[in-house]
């Protein structure tokens, strides 16, 4: 079919992969940092174009027939009626909008009203919440805002030469807080609730649709958010879940329908294929390991892992509830972590090291169980993040999760997912691919870990954790 490119504009950099459209084999790659210091909450979107240009230098895109774009989620680009930015894009976690999130929850009548409306409860990072923050703090900018785009929408629009038609995809739209994955439509009343007036929103096109063609004849696919692109790049399907180990953690799985969760623990996103991608987030994952390493005077997580392996499953009765930053799953925003089971024989560094790994993994297993409890099938778990390579994680995760664990080789799966989307749109435009079935690229190279004989041991560790959690925070998972 030819050659396609996937462009991933993350919070820090632009990565481009050029792939064979039939097999997904990576032919060339480009990379450039955004010309921005640190991770500010406000970014001129021109910075994304500058790094894109640098990453594509040296003729990287020569011969490419189609481009897919993935980009950081939660960034919102407010434009005026002429298509100019009203102010820099509001990006990142943006804790400054926490009060605005609470305002919006109350304004619609509570968490359940939001869950029913759009499948999620407003969080500080979401575009809908940032609009409310804008009204309260920069009313002039809010009043001039006539068009709302996300980062990947804006990049696609720029690549196409800023046409009158502006587009997005289901995946990106589902993270805004004003589009419902269940109904497949915008809730423009929620835009007005947040912004104080209506604004133009991009047209939501299908997963295999093209957003347009550049003047040079280059096809641009719909684009999507980084989470959806990474899932598509990994090649996950029904029965698969992805556990991402960052400072905080997230658990997502492919599901055939949107989930409505009045507790707010599940965010009901759409994926990049026409399916759904319910997500559960924990505030504490690798930060638990880093905190323990600092406490024990260790310089890195590899040393913590080595020390933990000197202990045994169950950490000699030590249980760490890793709610160091409060917690979202379960909803305990104002709590702190708990270390239980201290006895003279358990007060050793290796047992605390092991308890930090088991506590982190049990917290993520709780998040998996939130999805399982709503009928989401989980036959295997893809484990992502640098910490997934640690021996202590790999030895405990399969038995604690109670399922096969797949550890893919490190790669920019969001860029690969964007490239796969480009190949899909190109194939459909040429009549060689079905709009309902994406190209069957080879999946990620991975290490596969089975729970095996350790399953009963891991489930005992899990039960020990649950008992302490229920004693300390009774009914924490009851809605």
DSSP 324: B
pLDDT over 90, % of the chain: 92
- On the question of a cis peptide bond just before residue 126, with omega within 30 degrees of 0, the verdict is no
pLDDT at 133: 97
Mean pLDDT for the chain overall? 95
Distance CA 282, CA 279 (A): 10
pLDDT in tens, 51-74: 999 999 999 999 999 999 999 999
In terms of Cβ atoms closer than 10 Å to its own Cβ (0-12, 13-18, 19+), residue 417 is buried
pLDDT at 443: 78
Ranking 291-295, 304-308, 438-442, 475-479 by mean pLDDT, the lowest is 475-479
pLDDT over 70, % of the chain: 100
pLDDT in tens, 400-428: 999 999 999 999 999 999 999 999 999 99
pLDDT at 50: 97
pLDDT at 260: 86
| pLDDT exceeds cutoff 90 at 189 | yes
The alpha carbon of residue 441 and the mean position of all alpha carbons in its chain are separated, in whole angstroms, by 22
The alpha carbon of residue 230 and the mean position of all alpha carbons in its chain are separated, in whole angstroms, by 8
pLDDT at 478: 75
Number of other CB atoms surrounding residue 326 within 10 Å: 14
> Would you say 398 and 451 are in contact if contact means Cβ atoms under 8 Å apart?
yes
DSSP 326: B
pLDDT category of residue 261 using cuts at 50, 70 and 90: confident
| pLDDT exceeds cutoff 70 at 479 | no
pLDDT at 92: 77
pLDDT category of residue 442 using cuts at 50, 70 and 90: confident
pLDDT at 264: 79
Distance CA 29, CA 15 (A): 7
Distance CA 360, CA 472 (A): 17
Distance CA 61, CA 64 (A): 5
pLDDT category of residue 129 using cuts at 50, 70 and 90: very high
pLDDT category of residue 37 using cuts at 50, 70 and 90: confident
Print burial letters for 423-443: b (CB count within 10 Å at least 16), e (below 16).
bbbbbbbeeebeeeebbebee
pLDDT in tens, 339-389: 999 999 999 999 999 999 999 999 999 999 999 999 999 999 999 999 999
pLDDT at 1: 65
| pLDDT exceeds cutoff 60 at 3 | yes
| pLDDT exceeds cutoff 90 at 310 | yes
Q: Give me 405's structure tokens.
A: 């664990």
3-state secondary structure of 53: helix
Distance CA 389, CA 44 (A): 35
Q: Give me 201's structure tokens.
A: 């929103």
Distance CA 393, CA 383 (A): 10
| pLDDT exceeds cutoff 80 at 94 | no
Distance CA 376, CA 389 (A): 26
> Would you say 191 and 134 are in contact if contact means Cβ atoms under 8 Å apart?
no
Distance CA 381, CA 379 (A): 7
Distance CA 368, CA 292 (A): 24
Q: Give me 231's structure tokens.
A: 């899932």
Distance CA 190, CA 457 (A): 48
Distance CA 479, CA 254 (A): 23
| pLDDT exceeds cutoff 90 at 444 | no
Ranking 11-15, 122-126, 275-279 by mean pLDDT, the lowest is 122-126
Q: Give me 132's structure tokens.
A: 């409310």
In terms of Cβ atoms closer than 10 Å to its own Cβ (0-12, 13-18, 19+), residue 348 is middle
pLDDT at 62: 96
| pLDDT exceeds cutoff 70 at 434 | yes
Residue (of 468, 410, 470) closest to 444 by Cα position? 410
Ranking 30-39, 79-88, 282-291 by mean pLDDT, the lowest is 30-39
In terms of Cβ atoms closer than 10 Å to its own Cβ (0-12, 13-18, 19+), residue 317 is middle
Distance CA 249, CA 265 (A): 13
Task: Report residue 31: phi and psi, to 5°.
Answer: -150, 140
> Would you say 89 and 45 are in contact if contact means Cβ atoms under 8 Å apart?
yes
């Amino acid at each position: 079919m030819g050659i396609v490119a996937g462009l991933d504009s993350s919070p820090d950099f632009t990565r481009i992969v050029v792939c064979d459209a039939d097999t997904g084999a990576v032919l060339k790659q480009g990379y450039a940092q955004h010309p921005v210091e640190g991770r500010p909450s406000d970014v001129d979107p021109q910075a994304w174009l500058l790094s894109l240009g640098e990453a594509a230098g040296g003729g990287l895109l020569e011969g490419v027939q189609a481009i897919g774009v993935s980009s950081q989620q939660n960034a919102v680009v407010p434009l005026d009626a002429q298509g100019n930015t009203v102010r820099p894009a509001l990006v990142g976690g943006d804790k400054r909008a926490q009060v605005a999130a609470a305002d919006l929850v109350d304004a619609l009548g509570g968490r359940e009203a939001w869950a029913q409306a759009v499948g999620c409860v407003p969080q500080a990072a979401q575009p809908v919440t940032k609009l409310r923050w804008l009204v309260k703090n920069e009313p002039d900018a809010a009043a001039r805002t006539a068009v709302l785009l996300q980062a990947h929408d804006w990049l696609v629009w720029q690549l196409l030469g800023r046409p009158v038609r502006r587009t997005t995809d289901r995946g990106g739209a589902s993270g805004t807080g004003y589009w419902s994955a269940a109904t497949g439509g915008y809730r423009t009343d929620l835009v007005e609730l947040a912004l104080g007036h209506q604004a133009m929103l991009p047209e939501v096109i299908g997963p295999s649709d093209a957003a347009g063609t550049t003047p040079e004849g280059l096809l641009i696919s719909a684009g999507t958010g980084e989470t959806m692109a990474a899932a598509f790049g990994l090649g996950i399907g029904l029965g698969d879940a992805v556990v991402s180990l960052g400072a905080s953690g997230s658990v997502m799985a492919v599901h055939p329908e949107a989930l409505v969760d009045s507790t707010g623990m599940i965010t009901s996103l759409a994926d990049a294929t026409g399916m759904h991608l319910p997500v559960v987030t924990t505030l504490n994952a690798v930060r638990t390991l880093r905190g323990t390493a600092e406490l024990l005077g260790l310089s890195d997580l590899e040393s913590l892992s080595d020390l933990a392996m000197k202990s045994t499953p169950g950490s000699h009765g030590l249980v760490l509830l890793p709610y160091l930053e409060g917690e979202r799953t379960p909803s305990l925003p104002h709590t702190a972590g708990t270390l239980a089971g201290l006895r003279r024989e358990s007060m050793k560094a290796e047992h605390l090291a092991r308890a930090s790994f088991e506590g982190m993994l049990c917290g993520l297993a709780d998040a998996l169980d939130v999805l399982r409890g709503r009928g989401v099938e989980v036959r295997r778990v893809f484990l992502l993040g640098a910490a997934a390579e640690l021996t202590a994680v790999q030895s405990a995760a399969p038995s604690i999760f109670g399922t096969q664990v797949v550890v893919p080789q490190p790669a920019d799966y969001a860029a690969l997912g964007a490239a796969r989307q480009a190949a899909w749109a190109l194939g459909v435009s040429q009549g060689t691919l079905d709009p309902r079935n994406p190209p069957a690229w080879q999946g990620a190279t991975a290490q596969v870990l089975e729970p095996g004989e350790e399953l009963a041991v891991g489930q005992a560790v899990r039960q020990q954790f649950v008992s302490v959690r229920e004693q300390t925070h009774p009914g924490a998972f009851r809605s």
